[in-house]
Amino acid sequence: ASRKPRAEWDGVGALSDGHPVKLLANVGSAADARAAADAGAEGIGLFRTEFCYLDATEEPSVEAQRAAYAAVLAPFAGKPVIVRTLDAGSDKPLAFLDMGDEPNPALGVRGVRVAFERPELLDRQLAAIAGAAADTGAELSVMAPMIATAAEARWFAERARAAGIARAGVMIEVPAAALCAKEILAEVDFVSLGTNDLAQYVFAADRQLGAVAALNDPGQTALLRLAGMVAEAGAAAGKPVGVCGEAAADPGLAPVLAGLGVSSLSMNSAALASVGATLRAIDLPGCREAAADLGSRECSCRF
Ligand code: PEP
Ligand code: MG
């Protein structure tokens, strides 16, 4: 049987008309980062730092954190890297952080909320991240997970700047943050849509529960409409809006996200070639057309 050869990606993160869409990698380890560089990632769009500490029984020292982060950033000297501060709790429990007993961990003290209770933990991590960037020459940005309000975004950006980090952004993965993207963008340098958690909270569908997996589909109207609102707020503020959830890795959704105005897509490195090739075959008007009719994008799970 003859198989259609898969389109080759030419390694350029852009549409067919040259409109740039940065293609970045999601990484959690040095091995991930090497694979991402080999796959042609233009930078790191999401470094999940908590993946370095899943087994740690106590908080690693600043020096140990710095070395662990530097090992991940090393292949990206001179390239943009977005390091996310600890996103512990809920689906990512960390042994060295006692989260207490919560009835609904996905709605509990997780992500940046841990830092509000223990700011010195965040400050030590920011110092280690800044050191790792200096060690490797990577172009550093830091990003906070689970931001819900503009005041939280301001608090995080101030701490990042106090640590000597020039660029601070936040994830948009709580619906309230998407709805207040304008106010949040006034506080930070960029935002990145975390469609995994955003879908979980928008559809009220646990991301870990198979029974509601079909409902938890980021290609639906509600989520894409929110993404479009955030992208519009980014354009108005002149600040970049990326996507680093699984939606970015979907070649069917990537043109829609580009059409909505998203300027970078960050994904596991195995998806870079197919998403890159898909984008190289379509121009900006084509992407905008793909994004135009959001109202008809329904979940096919039940009805
Ligand atoms: C997300 O929520 O979309 C995301 C990218 O972060 P994580 O999957 O690590 O929660
Ligand atoms: Mg998330």
- pLDDT tens digits for range 195-211: 999 999 999 999 999 99
Report d(CA 257, CA 139) in Å as an integer.
Answer: 25
Question: What pLDDT score was predicted for residue 6?
Answer: 56
Mean pLDDT, the chain, rounded, equals 94
Helix (H), strand (E) at residue 108: none
Check the annotation: does 123 bind a ligand: no
Q: Is the CB of 200 under 6 A from ligand 1?
A: no
Instruction: Give the whole-number percent of the chain exceeding pLDDT 90.
Output: 87
Pocket test for ligand 1, best of 91, 244, 264 (most atoms within 8 A of CB): 244
Q: Is-above-0.80 flag for pTM?
A: yes
Is residue 111 scored above 50 in pLDDT?
Answer: yes
Pocket test for ligand 1, best of 84, 85, 146, 197 (most atoms within 8 A of CB): 197
Question: What pLDDT score was predicted for residue 2?
Answer: 46
Q: Is the CB of 50 under 6 A from ligand 1?
A: no
Check the annotation: does 84 bind a ligand: yes
Provide CB contacts within 8 A for 258, sequence distance 6+.
15, 19, 21, 265, 279, 284, 287, 291
Q: Is the CB of 220 under 6 A from ligand 1?
A: no
Question: What pLDDT score was predicted for residue 48?
Answer: 97
Question: What pLDDT score was predicted for residue 1?
Answer: 43
The whole-number average pLDDT for the span 164-184 is 98
Question: What pLDDT score was predicted for residue 7?
Answer: 65
Q: Is the CB of 196 under 6 A from ligand 1?
A: yes
Question: What pLDDT score was predicted for residue 302?
Answer: 66
